[in-house]
Amino acid sequence: MHFQVTPEPLDPLRAAALVRRDEAGAVVLFLGVVRDRNLGRRVLYLEYDAYPEMAEQVMRQLAEEAMRRWPVSDVAVLHRTGRLEVGETSLVVAVSSPHRAEAFAAAHWLVDRLKERVPIWKKEVFEGGEEWIEGELPTPG
């Protein structure tokens, strides 16, 4: 398992390589990317702040739980901090598993739990203001 909270740009191919195993027929890679619009506002950039040691500890706990729930071979979670421009990658989650269904399920679950529980905070700077954004699950639809 691999976890990193860093101000440096994230490398998704490195994350995929970190979890690649011979027994794993599937590697699922999720990228969280800064989008240009949110809540009807034009986003200029995001700022992420974190408690890195605690964030990495929670990431590990969640990865261990995912590995208990699904037959996952390995997990990598990387998150950026600092100022991120539109189009930059803020989160990389890589999951390997013998089969794709379990890899997708584990990655989906991990992304949702990471947003809920990891001590990383996001400030959205938009035209006309700025606001700290709470992590929340998307509504089905």
pLDDT given for residue 135 in this prediction? 53
Residues in the chain: 141
pLDDT given for residue 137 in this prediction? 39
Structure tokens at 4: 């990193």
pLDDT given for residue 84 in this prediction? 98
Q: Which residues in the chain come in under a pLDDT of 70?
A: 134-141
**pLDDT tens by residue, 71-84:** 999 999 999 999 99
H/E run at residue 35: none
pLDDT given for residue 128 in this prediction? 92
Task: Using a cut of 0.85, tell me whether the model's pTM lies above it.
Answer: yes
Longest Cα–Cα distance of the chain, Å, equals 51
* CA-CA-CA-CA torsion sign (131, 136, 11, 65): positive
Tokens 């800064």 correspond to what residue?
34
* The three-state (H, E, C) secondary structure of 56-107, written as one string: HHHHHHHHHHHHHHCCCCEEEEEEECEEEECCCEEEEEEEEECCHHHHHHHH
Residue 104's CB: how many other CB atoms inside 10 A?
Answer: 16
